[in-house]
Amino acid sequence: MSATELYGSGEYLRRNPDWHESDAKWKARQVLTMLSRHGLVPRSVCDIGCGTGGVLAALAEALPPRTELVGFEISADALRHVSAERRRRVNFVQTTPAERDVPFDVALCLDVFEHVPDYLGFLRGLRGVAKQTIFHIPLDISVASLMRAGRLSEVRRQVGHLHMFTKEVALATLETAGFDVVDWSFTNPSRESRPTHILGHIGKRARRVAFHLSPDLGARALGGFPILVLAKPTAEPRSLPAGYSRTYDLQQAGARRRS
């Protein structure tokens, strides 16, 4: 099944019935922490691959009432689950963002580009969308995931990750695509997750200890710690290998979905 079929046929919704709405408030808190750390009070925010808009809805409760909030989402399945109340505060658009005459102050790209076949082209296409972009990037590759047979294939099948990263590769990817990394930090979603079986509880405890001792070592060994990155577009992106297309139409970026 192609990525476009996965997100447009209802299959992704079947595999992920809440469209990751349960993670939205937690992700919004991570975004607000990053904004606060840098004294940013954006007048306009867009969420690229917003799903059902949960992150923007949570941000709306914390940002000034006049903040422009726009959610870009290509999946009709996700947008059908957006409530009327949420639509009154957030402008939802069933497309991908295009470069604006006046860029957004902040763009969010949370668990998105790992789903896009041409992820470097996609990222380059985002450079004109906002003055600054906050990325949330899962780090699927760890010692534990490599040792557990079939784990990475399971991630690819269940949540559609076409590309998988370590911290170093994720940060280098942003730089190659034409972004300067301003700040980054690990996040720890397992702190708020609720395991449903004994192995899940054991894994959560191990990650909690590892995160306390050394987030970097914990990410390398056990996984489960994504990174949150604040980045600005550079004047010019780095050169790509010969033969790689320099142009990318964001309208073609229909193969992606947040994790």
With H, G, I as helix, E, B as strand and everything else as coil, classify residue 35.
helix
pTM to 2 decimal places:
0.80
- Report DSSP letters for 101-164, one per residue: SS-EEEEEEES-GGG-TTHHHHHHHTTTTEEEEEEEE-----HHHHHSTTHHHHHHHHH---S-
Q: Are residues 25 and 153 in the same domain?
A: yes
With H, G, I as helix, E, B as strand and everything else as coil, classify residue 230.
strand
Full residue range of the structural domain in which residue 238 is found: 3-187+226-252
Q: Which two tokens stand for residue 230?
A: 């604040």
Neighbour count for residue 199 (Cβ, 10 Å): 9
For residue range 30-65, list pLDDT tens digits in order.
Answer: 999 999 999 999 999 999 999 999 999 999 999 999
For residue range 153-179, list pLDDT tens digits in order.
Answer: 676 677 777 888 899 999 999 999 999
Return the pLDDT at 228.
98
Sign of the C-alpha dihedral computed for residues 186, 191, 193 and 195 taken in this order:
positive
The answer to the question of residue 258 being in a domain is no
Q: Are residues 20 and 104 in the same domain?
A: yes
CATH at residue 43:
3.40.50.150
Residue of 97 and 70 predicted with greater confidence: 70
The answer to the question of residue 77 being in a domain is yes
| Highest mean pLDDT of the ranges 58-72, 73-87, 95-109 | 58-72
Q: Are residues 148 and 242 in the same domain?
A: yes
The answer to the question of residue 120 being in a domain is yes
